[in-house]
Amino acid sequence: MEFKQFYLGCLAHASYLVGDAGECAIVDPQRDVEGYIDEAAKRGLVIKHVIETHLHADFVSGHVELARRTGATIHIGAKAGAAFEHHAVHDGDEIVMGAVVLRFLETPGHTPEGVCVLVFDRTRGDQPACVLTGDTLFIGDVGRPDLVGSKGHTAAEMAGLMYDSLHDKLMTLPDDVEVYPAHGAGSACGRNISAELSSTIGRQKELNHALQPMTRDEFVERMTTGLEPPPRYFPHSAELNRQGAPSLGDLPRPPALNPDALERAVHAGARVLDVRTQDAFASGHVPGALNIPLGGNFASWAGTLLDAEQPLVLVAESDAALAEAIVRLARVGMQTLAGFLSGGITSWEVDGRVVRHHPRIDVDELARRMAEDGDLVVLDVRRVGEHVAGHVPGAVNVPLHELEARVGELDPSRPTAVICASGYRSSVACGFLERAGLVNLVDVRDGTNGWIASGHPVEAAAPVG
């Protein structure tokens, strides 16, 4: 059996190649598909099948482009309502490639059309070798049940279906069957996903909180309580996947803009997105720009914080960084690009335009300022659970994904030190705060992790509710 897991860390996304006898299937492909074509060619395989375990919401899939380029058949659950050419699969349907058999299990819960794929290698016997679980079963968690409200399903209804799928199908598999999910730690499709990229059914029955003994009603209560709102781009990406996204090569390259053209684009409704490092952004940027550095979970934060339909003007450090930003934005369905700043921030400065900047300070400097200035606000933009577990004493918590809606709670006249875990989200937050009129800002590099590591005092709080 030919088998390979591909892992895209910035989206915590796992996809797979599986096959035999000169043929293979690609399962849950990312939008840029060249890597699958190259890997299949290297192994002497022809891509005959593309499998979608469900309509993904957290990324735009390359299923249509991969099928177009290879002639492969796309297989997806019969309840998907897919608008592209496909084979609608039902429970028990099979794909045979030499000694390898792929058998579909309908496993609704995360979505109505969700399927898992049992993988048999007949050279190893009659037992399945592994199961590709999509977003049904993760390592340490299961898929959240609340992402399909627009389809007329409540979270409680979907959680009940998830319980049935787990108990009637996946948990009945032999304990040594290997589990390969579509996501790892950091994905918003689950809440408690492990950093491990594979496991076994037996280990998951032992360790996964969602597979512990409980009634169906208890499971539904557990799975529907305390869910944070999904990122705003999820419905947009899911609909792109239902329709079939255009090929990346068919998307127009954004035009180069000089400073005058950038200003016209902004006046017409575009948003300036600066993808440079935190230090580069802090030292000088276009007024009103939002900084989401390429070095972190760039695409997921862009999709969470920005309107997928709003035109963007990109500011990057190099042509390579610009090209990377375009691809990574497209992976989450953000492809409305008004242009990019030709010559980068240097061209803006040379043209004599106003440049905004703010200091970045270390945690020792933060401690000194807190001791000397009783008016200083420390704004913690981590998630509530992170803040509760331990924070800078007296810090105010407004999670980054809520900041734009809650910025009115902050006093623009007071100096504000923005902190997160490591200095990534705080830089993003500074862009939002500056745009809202807070100009006396400092960004704390190394964040709360650095504060704790340096031995400064930590305050914890009891969780609310």
Instruction: Examine the fold and report which residue of 324, 350, 376 is the final residue of a domain before the chain moves on.
Output: 350
Q: Using CB atoms within 10 A of its CB, is residue 182 exposed (0-12), middle (13-18) or buried (19+)?
A: buried
Instruction: Say if residue 283 is in the same domain as residue 411.
Output: no
* DSSP states along 158-220: HHHHHHHHHHHTGGGS-TT-EEEESB-TT-TT-SS--S-S-EEHHHHHHH-GGGSS--HHHHH
| Kind plus residue range of the DSSP H or E element containing 72 | none
Phi/psi at 177 (5° precision): -65, 130
Instruction: Say if residue 17 is in the same domain as residue 73.
Output: yes
Instruction: Say if residue 318 is in the same domain as residue 378.
Output: no
> CA-to-CA distance for 180 and 200, rounded, in angstroms?
8
> CA-to-CA distance for 225 and 210, rounded, in angstroms?
13
For residue 274, list its beta bridge partners.
Answer: 291, 315
Instruction: Say if residue 344 is in the same domain as residue 367.
Output: no
Three-class SS state of 238: helix
Give the other-Cβ count within 10 Å of 165's Cβ.
25
CA atoms within 13 A of residue 370's CA, in its CB half-sphere: 20
- What are the CA-CA distances from residue 456 to residues 211, 327, 366, 445, 459 (Å)? 39, 41, 10, 15, 10
- Give the distance from CA 458 to its chain's centroid: 30
In a domain, 355, yes or no: no
Instruction: Say if residue 206 is in the same domain as residue 120.
Output: yes
Q: Which of 75, 70, 76 is nearest to 46 (CA)?
A: 70
In a domain, 441, yes or no: yes
In a domain, 418, yes or no: yes
Instruction: Examine the fold and report which residue of 350, 373, 391 is the final residue of a domain before the chain moves on.
Output: 350
In a domain, 463, yes or no: no
> CA-to-CA distance for 80 and 89, rounded, in angstroms?
10
How many structural domains are present in the chain?
A: 3
Instruction: Say if residue 94 is in the same domain as residue 175.
Output: yes
Tell me the CATH number at 225.
3.60.15.10
Domain holding 415, by residue range, is 360-453
Instruction: Say if residue 205 is in the same domain as residue 280.
Output: no
Tell me the CATH number at 343.
3.40.250.10
> CA-to-CA distance for 449 and 445, rounded, in angstroms?
10
In the block, residue with structure tokens 């009783």: 374
Instruction: Say if residue 142 is in the same domain as residue 188.
Output: yes
Q: Residues 102, 106, 108, 112: is their CA dihedral positive or negative?
A: positive
In a domain, 304, yes or no: yes
> CA-to-CA distance for 124 and 432, rounded, in angstroms?
56
In a domain, 465, yes or no: no
Flag residues of the chain having pLDDT under 70.
149-150, 462-465
- What are the CA-CA distances from residue 233 to residues 47, 56, 112, 305 (Å)? 30, 11, 20, 9
Instruction: Say if residue 77 is in the same domain as residue 217.
Output: yes
| Parallel, antiparallel or unpaired: strands 199-200 and 178-181 | antiparallel
Token couple for 99: 């000694």
CA 404-406-409 angle, 5° bins: 135
Q: Using CB atoms within 10 A of its CB, is residue 361 exposed (0-12), middle (13-18) or buried (19+)?
A: middle
Asked if 305 and 291 touch (Cβ cutoff 8 Å), the reply is: no
Cβ-Cβ contacts under 8 Å for 249 (sequence gap 6 or more): none
- What are the CA-CA distances from residue 238 to residues 85, 148, 244 (Å)? 17, 10, 10
Instruction: Say if residue 336 is in the same domain as residue 368.
Output: no
Instruction: Examine the fold and report which residue of 211, 238, 265 is the final residue of a domain before the chain moves on.
Output: 238
Instruction: Say if residue 133 is in the same domain as residue 218.
Output: yes
> CA-to-CA distance for 343 and 69, rounded, in angstroms?
35
In a domain, 458, yes or no: no
Instruction: Say if residue 148 is in the same domain as residue 175.
Output: yes
Asked if 331 and 11 touch (Cβ cutoff 8 Å), the reply is: yes
Three-class SS state of 240: helix
In a domain, 378, yes or no: yes
